[in-house]
A and B are shown apart, each in its own frame.
Chain A
């Protein structure tokens, strides 16, 4: 080629680093967009997963030899719809006709304000029998269970949880003391051993338990039973017992074969699955919200990148005009985009993990590192940052220098 020498010189990567510093505001905004996107997705999904796990763990602890029977078809907290309540005859039928049943405890629940001296506390009152403690594996920490006479006569006595002791009795010994609940007075005969929180933030110690007949007569004013707890012999097949109870109750509730059950019989594991399924859906929803913030962050990055296209295109034109190769210019812009996006992704990940590790114990859920969501959100934001930094630059680098310089 005559005396013309067209030798390629070495690449100049450090240009990109200088570029980032020179366009500090633009760089900061890009990084911030990625940080926000990555941070929100990881935080929400990680804490959501922790909550699901906490629910599952606390319900599985109840064991699978406890069946819970409720009217309606949903097993979630709050009960279901359709189907009237049970009554004492249903409880006795289950006790008498189903083999393998060890304990059966009918429950009538209501809410009310308990008052003692100047203290008052809003809580739930459960009317049931001593069998309830067996079925639910509750232990009386101080005092005693109900006597046979108290249960039969519906005496106004109660067994209370630690939260009630703390709020009504300021942690003094409550045994033998009297307080009022929904206008009736009630003597404390026992205190439940402390159990703490359940998986969805409920306080298991915030409860007052009275004899079933006391609650029905004095508080609810009917003979309804809202739920039945059944403890089964662990050597029996729990599924067979469930089926037998379903058949019995269908008969007692006069359901013809075309009708669906208007009640549900679930063991603790099934309840755990249903509830953690619900929490799982919530996690999914939270993840979707987080995904939207990731998208918004992405659009932010996109805007910053696109707004600077004119300036960048001119700059690329100038660089090309003074002899830069298209590849060299592109490499510079690619490195800039990669460095900013990955920096943002890493910072977002670190902040999210720090927040999750600190916040998880505070809201009572375990910290579960989810590698998948970390990588997913990191790569998504990085891809947006790189894509929108790189592709306009690639187009500009493909123009001839004069066209790039005239760009507006």
Chain B
């Protein structure tokens, strides 16, 4: 059997302890093949972001096993997980998490700095990524001076600038009008089809989920259903 790109095996996540402990994930099993485009849907609070953070190696599960490219992530050190994020994963946060005071361009350049790219390459890659999300004219604006939708697109540009093998996007169109949303979805599909980037995306909108090849539905911390997109 060929190993999928990511495989979650009975993943649970408990926040807090004692009487206030809350079990956000109750045993998630999920496999995503390289090159897939998966949409994750589910009610608010169903554990979508929690699962996504674990997939992105940003958070550790309470129990269960997570394999990335066949490597068990819990067995890695903190630094190895950071290097794994740096090399293979692009992440679009639900809350963007851009650095204020920095221009859009500098924000997009940031992952390239940690990859040790020389300045000239950083700049041209970052400009190209900004162009892909239609923000070239805003490159030199401070990120805290941009609108919510613009910030979201900067966050997307930052996630794709490294040409990651896997792109994780937590509601990437949550703040965008439908026209821009479709543009972003077409961009994700292009990355997925043209460059074989594996895309896992959380969304509330069926129209956006329609771009994916399969949809995973979460409910109360469990995978309720997995279906091929219509």
Contacts and interface: CB of A to CB of B under 8 A. Distances in A.
A328 B110 CA distance: 13
Contacts of A317: 97
A5 B87 contact: yes
A213 B97 CA distance: 93
Contacts of A6: 76, 80, 83-84, 87
Contacts of B114: 9, 12, 319, 322-325, 328
Contacts of A22: 101-102
Interface string B13-45: 000000000000000000000000000000000
A10 B116 CA distance: 6
Interface stretch (A75-83, A186-194, A361-369, A398-406): A398-406
B39 to A, nearest CB: 22
Nearest to B56: A321
Given A3-B69, A4-B69, A314-B97, A15 B79 contact: no
**Chain B interface bracket (under 10, 10 to 19, 20 to 34, 35 or more):** 35 or more
Nearest to B88: A4
Contacts of A318: 97-99
A322 B58 contact: no
B94 to A, nearest CB: 10
Given A4-B71, A402-B59, A326 B82 contact: yes
Nearest to A314: B97
B53 to A, nearest CB: 5
B156 to A, nearest CB: 13
A322 B70 contact: no
Nearest to A23: B101
B111 interface: yes
Contacts of A1: 71
Given A2-B69, A400-B58, A400-B59, A323 B85 contact: yes
A325 B110 CA distance: 13
B115 interface: yes
B60 A400 contact: yes
Interface in A1-34: 1-10, 12, 15, 22-23
Nearest to B78: A326
A306 B110 CA distance: 25
Contacts of B85: 321-323
Interface in B105-164: 110-111, 113-116, 158
A141 to B, nearest CB: 73
Contact of B93 (A4, A15, A321, A400): A321
B51 to A, nearest CB: 12
A320 interface: yes
Contact of A7 (B60, B83, B113): B83
Contacts of A402: 53, 58-59
A170 B35 CA distance: 103
A320 B82 contact: yes
B68 interface: yes
Contacts of A152: none
Given A2-B70, A22-B102, A402-B59, A322 B83 contact: no
A92 interface: no
A320 B78 CA distance: 10
B104 to A, nearest CB: 14
Contacts of B99: 315, 318
A9 B56 CA distance: 20
Contacts of B69: 2-4
Interface in A55-77: none
Query: Which of A6, A314, A400 gathers most chain B CB within 10 Å?
Result: A6
B10 interface: no
A2 B73 CA distance: 13
Nearest to A24: B101
A325 B79 contact: yes
B121 to A, nearest CB: 13
B86 interface: yes
B91 interface: yes
Given A322-B110, A323-B86, A9 B71 contact: no
B103 to A, nearest CB: 10
A327 interface: yes
Contacts of A314: 97
A4 B91 contact: no
Given A9-B116, A22-B102, A402-B58, A326 B71 contact: no
A4 B79 contact: no
Given A6-B84, A318-B98, 12 more contacts: A4-B68, A23-B101, A321-B93, A323-B86, A323-B89, A323-B115, A324-B86, A325-B114, A326-B78, A326-B79, A400-B59, A402-B58
Interface of A: 1-10, 12, 15, 22-23, 311, 314-315, 317-328, 400-402, 405
6 contacts: A23-B101, A321-B56, A323-B86, A326-B78, A401-B59, A402-B53
